[in-house]
Structure 1
Amino acid sequence: MNNNKLGIWLLAALVVGNMVGSGIFMLPQSLAKAASPAGVILAWVLTGAGVLMLSLVFGNLSIRKPELNGGVQMYAQALFSKGSRAGILSGYVISWGYWIANVTGNVAVLTTFIGYLSTFFPIMTSSATLFAIGPVSVKTGGFITFLICTIMLWVMNAIILRGVKRTGQINFVATATKVIGFMIFICFTLFAFQKTNIFPLVQARTGSNGTSLSLLGQVNNAAITTLWAFIGIESAVMFSNRAKKRSDIKKATVIGLAVSLVIYVGITTLVMGSLTQTELMNANKPLVDALQKVVGHNVSYVMAIFDLISLTGTTIGWIFLSAEAPYQAAKQGLFPSIFKKENKNGVPSASLVLTNLFSQAFLFLTISDSLSSAFNFVIQVATLAYLVPYTASALYQVKLVITGSTYKNQKSRFTDGIIAILATIYSIYVIFAGTSNMKTFLLGIALYASGIALYPLIMRSRKSLAQQTDIKKEAI
């Protein structure tokens, strides 16, 4: 099984590959709509600092609590006494919410891939009606998108089933290509940068209710979007059970954050300077549009190819992570036991197939414009769902600092305490900023509450496992 262990660079590639994924390609447009240039810059500063605190929390917990190697849901469970119902419920609910968020995130990555593939096949954006089912009108582009996304989903499923290390290596190659491509993009767009596209730094923006937003309101508005860019910071922690060395987890997380932050800030700033605010807010492929300003239409196809390679790596990384989360939860008795099944290559095959079947169901929501708008709202809710395990992890670090567990050096205890408190404050702040809309808040609660129906099954499964263990002990 050592062949299935991941070293520091494969872990770092998973972090970068999962973070710098589908979000980066539409990020400049989304941020331009959410805030003016000053608001975007301040949102990056705030989010970069907050996510740094979270990354240090994840890295620190992976070293101080190596036995909690099943992912972020283990920290939620550890907030309560061992074996308590509160701990089991907390671990299960966090596992469920994290899994559902990943499933919807997979669909977002797949559909973004199709958006860039349409650079070469314009028919994929056709709005011509192909057929109608009752009130649902299916467009030609939407139907083609659905078919290609479905094929890609199950091709990735087949690749991952061949082995963990091979999957990590494929992701590493795609991530390396991605980083090279983005660095080339940054170098080229330096020549298209015009300060008149950014100034004035503070410009008018309106909220979802149509009211004018202050600069602080714009920062709050952009906070969710910038956080979405860093979703995946926990990737190394989620694969901690497959890491060659525990110390690699913290290093890989910090390396991944540093590389991603340089790419994010560089690209969004240069795109803002290459396109006018109006052009940017209406851009379907902002990175390609910005590059066209320098090299023209034909050469920009090269960027589209880099983007597709990048998204391939992101897709395989996220599908892999999405299957790993319920697999590790099942091993801890927090998910149905069927998710524990592995194939001969040590891959959580049952969890992978079940996760992709769930993703396939969500793919149906992309088949028409009306359903797609509903799915986009689900994505926003799912983004907020990631903050719950992030907050739980930060609170668990606070608990360790308060109790002094694993600490002998008071200086490191104080430092970790400051980091944990800042990470907690940041997580709560983004939850508050994102749930100011009551509809989003209520649907976020519903996302987690939807898993409660399966909780009795989990308890029965744990009870049955405990009885089997007792029988084996008596036999011995």
Structure 2
Amino acid sequence: MGQSKKLGFWILTALVVGNMVGSGIFMIPRSLSESASPLGVLLAWSLTGFGVLMTTLVFGNLGMRKPDLNGGPQIYAKELFRKGSHAATLSGFMSSWGYWIGNLAGNIAIITTFASFLSTFFPILTSSAELFTFGGITVTTGNLLTFTVCTILLWSTHFTILRGLEKAGQLNFAATAAKVVGFFLFILVGLYAFQKTNILPFSAPRYDEAGHAIGLLGQVNSAALTTLWAFIGVESAVVFSSRAKKQTDVKRATILGLFIALAIYIGISMLVMGMLDQNTLIASEKPLVDAMVAVMGPIGGKILAGLGIISLLGSTIGWVMLSVEVPFQAAKQGLFLPSFLKENENGLPIFSLIVTNILGQLFIFSTISNSISAAFDFIITIATLSYLVPYFIASVFQLKLVMTGETYTSSRSRIVDGVIAVLSTLYSVWVIIAGTADMKTFLFGVALLASSVVFYGKVWKHKDSAADKERATA
């Protein structure tokens, strides 16, 4: 790939910010207010921000020390085992598989959220008028139109990316810049409309379903799990490290993107608490829109809906790019099905793009009925677990490098990186334990990873034949 077609610092930063600040920002204030008091929310953001920062530093450091391992944090799984062994290949393939499915499902969730924001301007998208019944599934006008809108967005993104990753990255940059400006303008409005009485008492108990009081530490624990989902995508620049103009840009873009997103998240979640009273906020289905309506009237709601549409357009481009790149880079490492190596004349992983979006189209069928949609929501819950495993893997691999001293010449940098790796590993373990506390979720998450074994034979066969060719030419 020519240098002019590679991704620069600002496009990488936009991918990080755009993929993190997607649909979640519009609902997180309500979820946080429900689970924690304002003090608990602030502490949860601080704790999660620190934990993710440690993981981000691990990503950046590994990108510098192991530039040949491209494609995302899940790639490091194979480095934890003996080189060329079944354990190394299988672990790399399974983690790449789970990470790919997680990206795929998450992207379709963003696309369907786009349709819900569009309904602010076109209410017919929510029409419950019945059109027909097929196989026990009742299809309404709103369902069919939502399906159509989501399909158009998916394939429009497909053809946009076909023009080249760099051009798609530029569009993502424009959309991300627009939404960052929009969110900071929202923060300015929030500062103007902020009412201190709405966040009082600043520290107060919350109650579970049984009516038992939840203290501050319990609130932070619960809220921190919610805030973590806001940072999914922080590794976006790492996934595209092989396409970066400079490897140093990957680490810088990841760290800057994290701090931009953190400023937006903390600013918006705290200010919305001051714009709406806590009871109204907890009951709200669209807190940011309701907050703007309270300040500016109906026009405020439309402005926020427009901002949501721009935000989700950028996120869709970024997440499709990410979903396509993951199996392609894994295949280059011998950790995915070899057919995903196919590229077009622009160096675009064409087979990965087509398969990823065809699977995405199948997921979009979840918008046809509420019953299918409920099943898809569960798939997303399971798929989110696939993000946590690569974060843990990257942290453990960094620990391995520190312990063996590989790539290190300075004891000082080794100690610093060791401390960061330990903190990142502890944070990842805590989140995985908390996220898999529900046994049903845990078992289905394991089943998702295990489903990859069906295709493992082809991966190993290709890797084995490639090794034979290498030995023959040596």
Instruction: Report if aligned partners of 1:146, 1:367 keep a CA contact under 8 Å in 2.
Output: yes
Deviation at 1:470, TM superposition (A): 4.7
- The CA distance in 2 between the partners of 1:285 and 1:99, in whole Å, is 29
Structural mapping, 1:18-29, within 5 Å? 18-29=19-30
* Gap change, CA 1:153 and 1:131, over 3 Å in 2: same
1:139 corresponds to: 140
Letter in 2 for 1:163: G
SS class of match (1:191)? helix
One-letter amino acid of the structure 2 residue matched with residue 51 of structure 1: V
After TM superposition, the structure 1 = structure 2 runs for residues 78-117 of structure 1, keeping only pairs within 5 Å, are 78-117=79-118
Point out the more displaced range, 407-416 or 69-78: 69-78
Q: Judge conservation of contact 2:74–2:391 (CA < 8 Å) in 1.
A: no
Contact 2:289 2:300 in 1 (8 A): no
Structure 1 residue 325, shift from structure 2 partner: 0.2
Do 1:69 and 1:240's aligned partners in 2 also have CA atoms closer than 8 Å?
yes
SS at match of 1:69: coil
Alignment of 1:310-349 (within 5 A): 310-349=311-350
Which residue of the partner structure matches residue 193 of structure 2?
A: 192
Q: Which is worse superposed, 184-193 or 57-66?
A: 184-193
Distance 2:293 2:35 in 1: 24
- Summarize the alignment of residues 39-54 of structure 1 with structure 2, pairs less than 5 Å apart: 39-54=40-55
Q: CA deviation at 1:88?
A: 0.7
For the structure 1 residues 144 and 224, does the alpha-carbon distance in structure 2 shift closer, same or farther, using more than 3 Å as the test? farther
Match of 1:32 in 2: 33
CA distance in 1 between partners of 2:207 and 2:436 (Å)? 17
- Output aligned runs, 1:192-271, within 5 Å: 192-203=193-204, 205-206=206-207, 213-271=214-272
What is the rounded CA distance, in whole Å, between the counterparts of 2:47 and 2:288 in structure 1? 24
| Matched positions, count | 473
- Give, in whole Å, the separation in 1 of the partners of 2:382 and 2:471: 42
- Secondary structure of the corresponding residue to residue 230 of structure 1: coil
Tell me the CA shift for residue 332 of structure 1. Answer: 1.2
Query: Which residues of 2 match residues 276-315 of structure 1 at below 5 A?
Result: 276-315=277-316
Which deviates further from its counterpart, 209-218 or 31-40?
A: 209-218
For residue 254 of structure 1, give the secondary structure of its aligned residue in structure 2: helix
> Against the structure 1 CA distance between its residues 386 and 208, is the aligned structure 2 distance closer, same or farther, given a 3 Å change threshold?
farther
Task: Give me the whole-angstrom Cα distance separating, in 2, the residues matched to 1:257 and 1:141.
Answer: 37
**Distance change in 2, residues 1:438/1:208 (3 Å):** farther
Change (3 A) 1:37 1:14: same
- Measure, in 2, the Cα distance between the counterparts of 1:208 and 1:368: 30
1:381-392 map, 5 Å: 381-392=382-393
Q: CA distance change for structure 1 residues 339 and 284 in 2, over 3 Å: closer, same or farther?
A: same
RMSD, matched Cα: 1.8
SS in 2 for 1:176: helix
Aligned partner letter, 1:347: L
What are the Cα deviations for residues 359-388 of structure 1, in whole angstroms up to 9, with x where unaligned? 111112232222222222222222221010
Q: Cα deviation per residue 1:275-333 (whole Å; 9 max; x = unaligned)?
A: 22232233232222111122111243223222211111110000000000000011111
Q: Residue 41 of structure 1: CA displacement?
A: 1.9
- For residues 369-384 of structure 1, the aligned pairs below 5 Å read 369-384=370-385
What is the SS of the residue equivalent to 1:406? coil
Shift of 1:196: 2.4
> What is the match of residue 429 of structure 2?
428
Deviations 1:222-265 (A, max 9, x none): 23321111011111110000011111111011110011100110
Distance 1:406 1:463 in 2: 28
Q: TM-score, normalised by structure 2?
A: 0.95
Map of 1:445 onto structure 2: 446
Partners of 2:36 and 2:386 in 1: CA distance:
23
Q: Deviations over 1:402-453 (max 9, x none)?
A: 1111111111111111110100111111111111111111111111111111
Identity of aligned residues (%): 57
Q: What is the CA distance between 1:32 and its match in structure 2?
A: 2.7
Q: Is the 8 A contact 2:126 2:143 kept in 1?
A: yes
Displacement of 1:163 after TM fit?
0.4
Which residue number corresponds to residue 119 of structure 2? 118
Give the Å deviation of 1:30: 2.5
Distance (Å, rounded) in 2 between the aligned partners of 1:60 and 1:80: 20
State the alpha-carbon separation in 2 of the partners of residues 123 and 206 from structure 1.
Answer: 38
User: Which piece of structure 1 moves more, 429-438 or 202-211?
Assistant: 202-211
Task: In structure 1, list runs of 5 or more residues that go unmatched.
Answer: none
Rounded to whole Å, the distance in 2 between the matches of 1:386 and 1:242 is: 22
**2:450 aligned with 1:456:** no
Query: Match for residue 401 of structure 2?
Result: 400
Query: Which AA in structure 2 matches 1:277?
Result: Q
Structure 2 unaligned residues grouped into runs of 5+: none
Kept in 2, the 8 Å contact 1:190–1:270? The answer is yes
For residue 190 of structure 1, give the secondary structure of its aligned residue in structure 2.
helix
In terms of mean alpha carbon deviation, does 177-186 or 275-284 score higher? 275-284
Q: Give the direction of change, closer, same or farther, for the CA distance of 1:128–1:220 in structure 2 (3 Å limit).
A: farther
Take 2:146 and 2:228, find their aligned partners in 1: how far apart are those partners?
A: 27
SS of residue matched to 1:222: helix
Report whether the alignment pairs 1:414 with 2:421: no
Matching residue's letter, 1:151: I
- C-alpha distance in 2 between matches for 1:398 and 1:210: 43
Structure 1: which amino acid aligns with 2:74? Answer: Q
**Residues 445-469 of structure 1: CA distance to partner in whole angstroms, max 9, x if unpaired?**
1111111111112112222333444
Is the 1:224–1:383 contact (alpha carbons within 8 Å) kept by the matching residues of 2? Answer: no
Partner Cα distance (1:202, 1:136) in 2: 47
Greater shift in the superposed pair: 305-314 or 236-245:
305-314
Does the CA-based 8 Å contact 2:77-2:88 persist in structure 1?
yes
**3-state SS in 2 of match to 1:138:** strand
Q: Deviations over 1:128-182 (max 9, x none)?
A: 4433334433333232222111110011000001101111111111111111101
Contact 1:191 1:294 in 2 (8 A): no
Distance in structure 2 (CA, Å) of the matches to 1:426 and 1:460: 37
Matched with 2:66 is: 65
